[in-house]
Amino acid sequence: MMAIARENNFSETAFTVREPDGSYRLRWFTPTSEVDLCGHATLATSYVLFNFYEHDATQSASTPPRTATSLWQARRPHTDGLPRL
């Protein structure tokens, strides 16, 4: 993941993996290190999960992303199409 983040050369790159229990693990990397939290990448990942992977999710995600620092609760996008954390 670090090598991909270094190649992307963005301020942060988010990676998510679906766990066997159906939850998602979420990690963030800069080009030089892993970081504990990245809000905008978390929102972007929630948007992608809801709109491309979890079409049938209800208002609250049944499998919120797990991170190194906490468990997030993402909510289905509203009329503006943006997820809420």
Give the SS3 label for residue 34. strand
12 tagged catalytic: yes
Retrieve residue 58's tokens. Answer: 């209800």
Q: Which of 7, 12, 19, 54 is labelled catalytic?
A: 12
For residue 61, what are the contacts with CB-CB under 8 A and spacing of at least 6? 46, 49, 50, 54, 73, 74, 75, 76
Q: Which residues are catalytic?
A: 12
